[in-house]
Amino acid sequence: MTQVIADISVSLDGFVTGPNVGLGNGMGDGGMALHAWAFSDDPDERRLLQEGTARSGAVVLGRRLFDIIDGPDGWSDEVGYGAEEVGKPSFVVVTSAAPESFRLTGLDWTFVTTGLSDAVAAARERAEAASAASGRELDAVLMGGGALVRSAVAAGLVDSLTLHLAPVLLGSGTPLFVGAPPRTLHQRSVVVTPAATHLTYDIH
């Protein structure tokens, strides 16, 4: 059964980017340390990355994140979501207005202008279609940014939350759950690797 999964890396002090985020500095100052596990040669970290991207039938992201990864210093054939692990899932962007043009034309982009709930529904639909076509269960994955993940969890749109907790204190940046409503999660798994602790929670 297709699920909606939020999957994001976060610092020990709760930030998903460092300060001064912008084009050419998409993770903010010091923020790339959050993703050290994803670029590691450690076999357990490689396995977790491969498993995470392999389950992705569709991926949801916000417009700010889209603009960064579509920028000149953003994704390429070598660097991007599952670039070395999987094929190319559908991408659904939550935005107030679709861009007139974009650089990454080789990927399947859908721009949803009617809100987060509709974007998640569109991603679930695409993941279900990908599941039927591939003969295996695939999910809709929310990759960020932080405000999108926070809003989706608060709105009850997420079935499962995976946090890759990096051993770094950023001090400031984009917070993940500041201002979020109270919620009790159900811990499913904890996996410790050299560059992060990987926490998965079910949300009911």
Question: In 3-state terms, what secondary structure has residue 184?
Answer: coil
- The answer to which of 23-37, 38-52, 70-84, 112-126 has the lowest mean pLDDT is 70-84
Tens of pLDDT, residue by residue over 125-175, are 999 999 999 899 999 999 988 999 999 999 999 999 999 999 999 999 999
Q: Which of 99, 93, 89, 92 is nearest to 63 (CA)?
A: 93
Identify the pLDDT of residue 83.
45
Read off the pTM. Answer: 0.91
- Count of the separate structural domains present in the chain: 1
Please name which of 178, 196, 149, 203 lies closest in space to residue 14, comparing C-alpha atoms. 178
The domain that holds 86 is classified in CATH as: 3.40.430.10
Domain region containing 159 = 4-202
Phi, psi of 137, rounded to the nearest 5 degrees: -75, 125
Q: Is the pLDDT of residue 20 over 80?
A: yes
pLDDT above 80 for 194:
yes
| pLDDT of amino acid 87 | 57
pLDDT at 86 over 60: no
Average pLDDT value for the chain: 91
For residue 158, give the 3-state DSSP assignment.
coil
Query: Which of 104, 112, 108 shows the shortest CA–CA distance to 133?
Result: 108
Asked if pLDDT for residue 111 goes beyond 90, the answer is yes
Q: Please determine, for residue 176, whether its predicted confidence score (pLDDT) is greater than 80.
A: yes
CB 173 within 8 A of CB 15: yes
Query: pLDDT by residue (tens digit) across 89-104?
Result: 899 999 999 999 999 9
